[in-house]
Amino acid sequence: MIAIKIGTADRRDGDIDARWITDQVNARRREGKKICVLFKVNCGDVNLNLPSRDYPKAGGGGRKPNVNEEFILDEWRKMGFPDQNLNPGMVVSFWEFVKQICD
């Protein structure tokens, strides 16, 4: 299962597409709102909640990531999610990356 929450809008699995992601990110940018994104990835031995930099803080962690989770977290960091302002391309790219892992 992959779920993405962008602001107050959320979708999961087959309801997610690049156009929806782009529309949601751009709508928040036009409204002058922070781009808050939360990825929830739960497939195989992967169980991650990945909030973007501006996502409201929530509890998390509690255990060390396994090898597959660490692989996804490394890509998350490489793409700059914890540190950068988001753009639609970043969100779409990460979604496509995670989708490949979970399929």
Contacts 24+ apart (CB under 8 A), 43-48: 43/1, 43/2, 43/101, 43/102, 44/68, 44/102, 45/69, 46/72, 46/101, 46/102, 48/72, 48/73
Would you state the pLDDT for residue 34?
87
Cβ(72)–Cβ(2) below 8 Å: no
For residue 56, the enclosing domain spans 2-102
Query: pLDDT tens digits for 47-103?
Result: 999 998 888 775 566 789 999 999 999 999 999 887 778 899 999 999 999 999 998
Would you state the pLDDT for residue 60?
60
Work out the average pLDDT over 43-50: 94
**Structure tokens, 42:** 């739960």
- What is the number of domains present in the chain? 1
